[in-house]
A and B are shown apart, each in its own frame.
Chain A
Amino acid sequence: MRYVGVLLVWTYRLTLGWFLGGQCKYHPSCSQYAIDAYKEFGFFKGTVLAAWRLVRCNPWSRGGVDYARDQRVFT
């Protein structure tokens, strides 16, 4: 199931990702974060984490280094 998530992210990357062509202020980028999150936490937690990361990736946040495995949403 978690690979469904990874697959979805790749679909995004190969289609709209190029279109929108954002460069993320975080490292790793949002899509890479999503892939990491799916791989480590499974589909549902991964989705929540990826969504939360996207929300944080706004002009008012600081950006920076932020790995999925360092998340604090699920303990």
Chain B
Amino acid sequence: MTLALLQPLEHLLRHILNGLHSIGLPWAWSIIGLTVIVRMLLVPLTVRQIHSMQNMQAHAPQMKELQKKYKGDRQKLNEELMKFYKENNINPAASCLPLLAQFPVFIGLYYTLRAFSKHPPPGNLSWLHFVPSVADKVTAHWSGYVLLAVYVGSQLASTYFMAGSMQKSQQMLMYVLPFAFIFVIARFPTGLVLYWMTTNLWTVGQGLITRRLIPKTPPPSPRRSSRTPAKEEPPPPVAEDGGKPEHRPAATPSQPRRVKRKKKKRAKR
């Protein structure tokens, strides 16, 4: 089923690759070009994230205070932070969808390159005179190990730039995992490592540019996007939390109203 769903994507990627190849790029560079195209399409999202990072920075002192207040209780802290975001119109930088957008491309590329290695297309499959074929497995040639090393390096570097908002323990794992992933990635075609390497390096470059940009620009005054209607903040939630059991209408995203239904559902099972 997955395969059938991915087939159009695989064809699309193949088309783009073919297109890039037909304008004179060798296959390896076509893969890199494809990566750059994917990342360029994601740039609007990135710009958005930079904005929200600036916004976060402007409110950092208050958030620090919250963190101090709820030091022992991770769960509570998270909830309080989220509330704080909402009250101050902050959009946390991270979100799942942009990451997910890369995921099908990654899989699609995996299948595309696997098809490559089964039926090698005519033309030059080597890269920079030291990788004999991007369709082969990484471990087929010593150059693959070089690429693996670069991959791990770029992964660590891109983690370094993205890790700002992560928890410490999560950060540690993110630094350790690339080493564990070597064994998985070693079974991939070289072209896929090339893709992942490029996308990481892009992240690093983006991180460098962002670092330059952020301290210079003053924190923007409370920004309202045209998409979200200006919402009148209800009086502090604490005041009304007292005795109102029913849900508010859909306009306000859910408050942590956790007490009621839990027990009922448990009883059902």
Contacts and interface: CB of A to CB of B under 8 A. Distances in A.
A60 interface: yes
B166 A58 contact: no
B92 A63 contact: yes
Interface string A17-33: 01111111111011000
Q: How large is the interface on A (under 10, 10 to 19, 20 to 34, 35 or more residues)?
A: 20 to 34
Contact of A66 (B81, B253, B262): B253
Contacts, number: 105
A59 B83 CA distance: 17
Interface in A1-25: 16, 18-25
Q: How large is the interface on B (under 10, 10 to 19, 20 to 34, 35 or more residues)?
A: 35 or more
Contacts of A18: 173-174, 177, 181
Interface of B: 45, 48-49, 52, 78-79, 81-83, 85-86, 91-100, 102-103, 159, 162, 165-166, 170, 173-174, 177, 181, 225, 227-228, 247, 250, 253-258, 261-262, 265
26 contacts: A16-B103, A20-B102, A21-B174, A22-B94, A22-B95, A24-B95, A24-B96, A25-B92, A25-B95, A25-B96, A27-B78, A27-B82, A29-B96, A54-B97, A58-B98, A59-B45, A59-B48, A59-B91, A61-B91, A62-B253, A65-B256, A69-B258, A69-B262, A70-B247, A70-B254, A72-B247
Interface of A: 16, 18-27, 29-30, 40, 54-55, 57-67, 69-70, 72
